[in-house]
Amino acid sequence: MPQSESEENKLRYRRTQSVTRAEEITTKEEKQRRVQPDKPCHRPRDSLFSWSSGFDNFTGLVNWGFLLLTIGGFRLCLENLLKYGIRINPVQWYNVLSGKNEGEGHPTLMLVAYSIVPMSMCLLLEKGLAADIIPETAGMFSQIVNILVLILLPMVILHVKGHAFSIIGATTVCFLYSILFLKTWSYVQVNMWCRKSFREQQKPRKRRPSISIAELQNHAGHSDDSKQTDKDVPKLVQYPNNLNYKDLFYFLGAPTLCYELNFPRTTRIRKRFLLKRLLEVIFGVNVLMALFQQWIIPSVRNSLIPFSNMDVVLATERLLKLAVPNHLVWLCFFYLTFHSFLNLCGELLHFADRNFYCDWWNANNIDTFWRTWNMPVHRWCVRHLYIPVVQMGYSSRKASVIVFFISAFFHEYLVSVPLQTYKIWAFMGMMGQIPLSSFSKTMQRTFGPRMGNIVVWASIILGQPLCIMMYYHDYVVTHFKDALTSEEYNDS
């Protein structure tokens, strides 16, 4: 055994020597070539498109792609205008958004105003639990019922009196009550954590050993110093002093879904920043409505007949044609919501945490995308769903599936309930993100991060218009059955 080990060491040493010797020979050869009278200009190097070259500056190609995309989009805009004319009509949007298409009594406004009732009920229950007036079990059961009513109330009312609501009004109600559901969940759970900690602090403790007079004087001296240094520091709100309407309504208006007793605050409102965000919101809303009215609606209507007849070729052509305007609208909606509107709310309320999104456009797999594109929802899922489920003894894999299941429910809820077309396309699309995540990670490991990022972008660009076409088809079939036979199909 010792002889064999020594022989292996000699072989390794010789192999190392041979590599070093080869590099030395190559270096000497290059030096000799440089001094030759033929003025050599070649040296060993890889092509820039080779992975081994280490070249990564493709700014010019990115500019080229952006310019080409702009030209293609401009051509599509001209084609749309030549075919359909100018369809933008702000009066129609005003009629829809103002509720003139709704029944008497403005049911959307009534449901929005009624949302104060379950939130007040939640606050009263928390006050009763904090004062030990309500037993813990009964109080938490009442809170769970109150939270479930929040999410089920729009579903029941829209099912019974859906004809009295416009699509915009129904969507607004469902979106508002979904946000209140998540905020109430966080409010109840955080107060439960604080209540447990508060009660533990109120328990009698064992008597501490006596201390000397010198230690007592030193402690007093340190406390005086700390009072002088901390006199300008604002005092933190402690439980149960947070249980009031002012604190609750601030949380309801704050651009976050996760409740805290003491949110980070800014010291002032930046007027120029606020004005920029306000103008972006006003301009962005009009751009979204114009794109939707001019581009999305005609493309979706023209996809109805191919989808009904299961014409795969024409349906695919319509899907690809709808992908570009839909993706443009989605990007505008992302910027308008997560940058302009949430920053506007944060600036008005002095809310300092503006981490509403991360660099999701660089995501190399689906998991990274869902963790970075919507930070308020991601933070809520991790804090109030994923970590508690893991602490209950479930594996991280099962906890992730539960998170996707809840997310899939809300995606379906926000589409099916306003349209009153109860299908499972959005739910299946979200649950399909689990196998798609495994596929994107496989592509990332096999072909590199760039291919994983391409898979992410492909799922975003193609998945949403397919879902829109399926829901539009089902909506027309459910509510306008005669449209399939009476509508003229205009081939582009």
Within 230-303, residue ranges assigned H as helices are: 245-253, 271-291, 297-302
Peptide bond into 240 cis (omega under 30): yes
Q: Is residue 310 left, alpha or beta, with left meaning phi > 0 and alpha meaning psi from -120 to 50?
A: left
Which of 330, 351, 339, 324 minimizes the C-alpha distance to 251?
351
SS3 letters for 77-99? HHHHHHHHCCCCCHHHHHHHHCC
CB 453 within 8 A of CB 287: no
Q: Which two tokens stand for residue 148?
A: 């479930």
DSSP for 417-443?
HHHT----HHHHHHHTHHHHHHHHHHH
N- to C-terminal Cα distance for the chain?
80
Cβ contact 265:350 at 8 Å = yes
Select which of 106, 411, 473, 479 is catalytic.
411
Whether residue 411 lies in the annotated active site: yes
Torsion-angle region of residue 266: left (phi > 0), alpha (psi -120 to 50) or beta?
Answer: beta
Residue 248 CB partners (closer than 8 Å, separation 6+): 119, 123, 187
CA pair distance 79, 85, nearest whole angstrom: 9
Distance separating alpha carbons of residues 296 and 290, to the nearest angstrom? 9
Catalytic residues: 411
